[in-house]
Amino acid sequence: MNDPISAETPESDAPDTTSQGGEVRQKALQEELSSLVDVVGPGPLVDLLLERAFGLSATDIHFDPREDGLYIRLRVDGILHDILVIAPAMTAQVISRLKLMAGMDITEKRIAQDGHISNAILKSQRDIRVGCGPTIYGERLVLRLMPESGSYSTLDSLGLEGDQIQMVTNYINAPYGMVLSVGPVGSGKSTTMYSCLDLLNSSGRSLLTIEDPVERRMKGINQIQVDTKIDFNFVEALRGALRQDPDVIMVGEIRDPETAHIAVRAGLTGIRVLSTLHANDTTSTIDVFRDFGIPPMFIADSVNCVISQRLVRKVCLESNEEYHPDEGQCQFLGIDPAQAGSVTLKRGVPSDSNFHTGYSGRTGVFEILPIDPTLREAIIHNKSSKELQSIAVAQGMVTLEEAAKKKVLEGFTTIEELHRVLVFSA
């Protein structure tokens, strides 16, 4: 990873910052921004940074104050990259500019604030959520770049296998019950739920979403934004939504026992419920519901399907090389070392085309748990999550680990990336 370009870097002509694929390259972006720091004010600099970040498909921009200035980093494919360092003399102007755009109080620097830069300000259909708070060196800002409105991924483009797509499609088309997407922050859960919601979107159904924030605007769907400032939270919004004759409800996230109880009740009373939840894998989702105090019978009868997922970086298509696995890699992948010569894997070669990481873009790795009669019976009898997983695997469930290794064998990603993203059992 290259060092960030300081604001003291000598000026140079702004280079062409677009590639054949329309992406801004890291070095070119660093040079372009550093050449403008001393020439333009904070407004044009911030506008250009936002434009370039969207062009890179970045998900976040970090403005981190440190002793020697304001460090600007972009999160691309899940990894933060240093882009620019703003001199201390200009730091306050950049922070104030962003806070003004986000509707924040620029005079308040002692507490955390939340803000929103609307698509009207940006003159596009992209929103930005802004969070700021104090640090020992000044205010820190993080911008979350919302996905483009009207842009939805199909289930196959997410990385699901053919049989997994069929399974998910069957369960989201069930007349009632819950389909849950689980995983850590940043694992693509919301994207999966939007893809499922898009498949259900028709004029013959009443569809509602309850979100914080609303990430994508969808035509034909009533989207509700919660607002904790006026105590309009998920619980209140969900209670209200159930009185509005819905066929399908998407709850952005189940965070607490009360929301979980209401969502389960909705799934039992003829409503299709889509939602996300923080859980390590599919069967541990059942433990989360138990911890929320939901009776085992209600869990078994309301949950139709659980999707556990992770995002792994893909080997760069423009800059990569093929190789044969060594003995340790064969053991990890379940390959006979004697057959290593016939197995070809891929790994990226660091270059300007991939931010010097060897990776470009991401794909999903999925574990699908359908709640069939056998598992329902096990849930009712309070079987542990490990026992539930054993039953599911015996019935053919492909685990996250198995799905991830398949991506390596198919040349989509690398063993190193799997170790970064997944925790494998010994």
pLDDT, one tens digit per residue, over 148-180 is 765 667 888 999 999 999 999 999 999 999 999
Say what the pLDDT of residue 118 is: 79
**What strands, in cross-sheet order, belong to the sheet with 69-76?**
5-6, 79-86, 69-76, 60-66, 138-145, 128-135, 113-117
pLDDT, one tens digit per residue, over 10-61 is 333 333 333 333 344 566 677 777 777 666 777 888 888 888 888 888 999 9
How is the chain split into domains, by residue range? 5-145, 156-421
Say what the pLDDT of residue 362 is: 94
Q: What angle (nearest 5°) sits at the alpha carbon of residue 114, between those of residues 112 and 119?
A: 155
Cα–Cα distance for residue pair 101/66, rounded to 1 Å: 23
CATH of domain 5-145: 3.30.450.90
Of residues 311, 300, 278, the one with CA closest to residue 372: 300
Indicate if 156-421 has the same CATH topology as 5-145.
no
CATH of domain 156-421: 3.40.50.300
Query: Is the CB of residue 49 less than 8 Å from the CB of residue 33?
Result: yes
Say what the pLDDT of residue 121 is: 56
Does this model's pTM top 0.95?
no
Say what the pLDDT of residue 189 is: 95
Query: Is the CB of residue 181 less than 8 Å from the CB of residue 189?
Result: yes
H-helix or E-strand containing 144?
A: strand 138-145
Look at phi and psi of residue 272 and say left if phi exceeds 0, alpha if psi is from -120 to 50, else beta: beta
Residue 368 DSSP SS3: strand
Residues of the chain with pLDDT under 50: 1-24, 425-426
Cα–Cα distance for residue pair 87/42, rounded to 1 Å: 12
